[in-house]
Chains A and B, each alone.
Chain A
């Protein structure tokens, strides 16, 4: 194996090493004591605006999402509360993962042709591409719930049905 020799031009200061070590220690110690100070101040309710670390304490504290982030789907409703979806199958057709399954039924209102009897999204297959939202002519499906946690103990638990999709509401993005 060929060995590549890298020539480094170290000054004398860098060569004796100990001064450079002290410089590094100064940097880390500055972070240590600054954060220590901020944390102690937080205990007394001071300096709330300064953060003592870049960590988000996840379940209690959430990172602010971008408003255009694609999160869990929801189906929107009409004024009377029925689903806005007309079972046109656009989203089912465009879905690259084939994870939407719709059964249409005849709507009693002659103005509206159909309504979904079943509307299942298999989140185990969904790739969160957002094409279904783009394709929908009725603005019936949206991905703006701000929820990302949908883990489940079984594959069946990942299939979300009509009622579940209708029951979600949007959370306005926090800034």
Chain B
């Protein structure tokens, strides 16, 4: 039974992420179209049903799978094949520690809706994200192509610079919640400040939220920060990739978008918490409360998590289709001379306030 619960949680989150990825490829087309007063891809149909173009990702997948898989002569066959798998694996594995629901007692078992209950959950996410860079570096290096190599160097330097900001930003979050375990962090966000403001990260760490969101967007390597790829003019690390291996890099981008959204949700938007919803029902101040069964609460909280992640994904798409790409020196200047000092300032301010409160 233990194994069954564990397996079903992993199954759920894996399919959830893959489903999100599928929808995001559709959303990218449709949302950008609507934002630019276009209509967007709507021609792929199955038996005459078009469903607003929802079959286009399917058609994409068929196209990518049937394309030739080309390995450049002089490239390293093993590493060239391995690179997309490395990139995608580490993006997917990070979801193991993201809590998508609280702790419920179902049929005598206490189920925590988080695949891997790690004490160092947050560090685990950061470790996997840094490991993911290997995929992109290997892709550029094993292609035997100087442009690809330059692209992967850009990817590595960008991701390392922004990871520092990210790391420095979450120190503020850590100081407030005093735990690295993501589930405990979300539980701590269920409390309220002065009785009515939920103790979410965004209210306690507004500056940290903006910095973290920016850095997380930079980690996804999507448009305002897409210098590693530069799909329209400068060439990126996957220039020598074709077929589904190329598709896996694209999928990795979308998975990282979902990951960034899930992380921002978990750290700053209260994870699966619904305001005023406790483990046995809504509880407003004083006499006002609504009792709910455990399963209903679970359903509500998981949906809240999904809703927050979806809204953030839409928001990130909005940013992606609004802002033009940074220039390389602007990107580096933003990362090292603005974001990093601000995040250290954030730590200082948080520390001072905490000292003052205690």
Instruction: Say if the beta carbon of A69 comes within 8 Å of chain B.
Output: no
CA A25 to CA B314, docked complex, whole Å: 12
A28 with B39, Cβ < 8 A, contacts A35-B34, A36-B34, A53-B34 known = no
Interface centre among A27, A36, A53, A54, by most chain B C-beta atoms within 10 angstroms, is A53
- Contact: A54 with B318, CB < 8 Å? no
A32 with B35, Cβ < 8 A, contacts A24-B322, A25-B318 known = yes
Q: Chain A contacts of B318 at CB under 8 A?
A: 25, 28-29, 32
Instruction: Say if the beta carbon of B37 comes within 8 Å of chain A.
Output: yes
Instruction: Say if the beta carbon of A57 comes within 8 Å of chain B.
Output: yes
Instruction: Say if the beta carbon of B351 comes within 8 Å of chain A.
Output: no
- Contact: B38 with A53, CB < 8 Å? yes
Question: What's the least CB distance linking A29 to chain B, in Å?
Answer: 6
A53 with B210, Cβ < 8 A, contacts A21-B323, A28-B322 known = no
A25 with B322, Cβ < 8 A, contacts A18-B210, A32-B31 known = yes
- Contact: A54 with B37, CB < 8 Å? yes
Q: Chain A contacts of B8 at CB under 8 A?
A: none
Q: Chain A contacts of B319 at CB under 8 A?
A: 21, 25
CA A35 to CA B210, docked complex, whole Å: 28
Contact with A along B26-59 (1 / 0, CB 8 A): 0000010111111100000000000000000000
- Contact: A31 with B323, CB < 8 Å? no
Q: Chain B contacts of A27 at CB under 8 A?
A: 322
- Contact: B35 with A28, CB < 8 Å? yes
Residues of B150-173 contacting chain A, CB below 8 A:
none
Q: Which residue of B lies closest to A55 (CB)?
A: B39
Question: What's the least CB distance linking A51 to chain B, in Å?
Answer: 9
Instruction: Say if the beta carbon of A52 comes within 8 Å of chain B.
Output: yes
Interface centre among A32, A35, A57, by most chain B C-beta atoms within 10 angstroms, is A32
CA A35 to CA B33, docked complex, whole Å: 9
Q: Which residue of B lies closest to A57 (CB)?
A: B39
Question: What's the least CB distance linking B132 to chain A, in Å?
Answer: 27
Q: Spell out B's residues near A (CB within 8 Å).
A: 31, 33-39, 210, 318-319, 321-323
Q: Which 5 residue pairs spanning A and B have beta carbons closest together?
A: A35-B34, A55-B39, A28-B322, A53-B39, A32-B35
> Other CB < 8 Å A-B pairs besides A52-B34, A52-B39, 17 of them?
A21-B319, A27-B322, A28-B322, A29-B35, A29-B318, A31-B34, A31-B35, A31-B36, A32-B34, A32-B35, A35-B34, A35-B35, A35-B37, A36-B34, A53-B33, A53-B38, A54-B38
